[in-house]
Structure 1
Amino acid sequence: MIDFRPSDLLYSAAWPEHRHEVREFVKSFRPMQRMGTVEDVADTAEYLAGDLAGFVSGQNLMVSGGGPA
């Protein structure tokens, strides 16, 4: 399972009128200083489907930019 947060899409949809402010606030709590993207999820899925993850099973892989759950 891919556990993905925080997403730019999530915050943009929830508070469209305050998108920039909310985005900057959330980014400030992330060690990578950015929001997650669709590409981040796609890259994770590609890894899990590929040969490099051949011995990975039953995992909940959190894609969060190093931030809290």
Structure 2
Amino acid sequence: MEFSSLTLKALPNIPLISPGDHLGIIILEAINNTHLSLTNGDILVIAQKVVSKAEGRYKRLADV
């Protein structure tokens, strides 16, 4: 399988993520607000830091 192009797009206006935030809904709302659409074969890349914050699995450096 040969790929002819790669397009990267950052989603603007993602709010600061807090423990308990529903990351899936936040991402889908951002996609809808930018009038982008997902198609079969698209890949979403989400930073582990954002996932950890939404799950409440992080430590503040000042608390260590």
- Please say which structure displays the higher CA radius of gyration: 2
TM bucket normalised to smaller: under 0.3
User: What is the TM-score when the length of structure 1 is the normalising length?
Assistant: 0.26
More relative contact order, 1 or 2 (CA 8 Å, 6+ apart): 1
**Structure with a larger share of its residues in helix:** 1
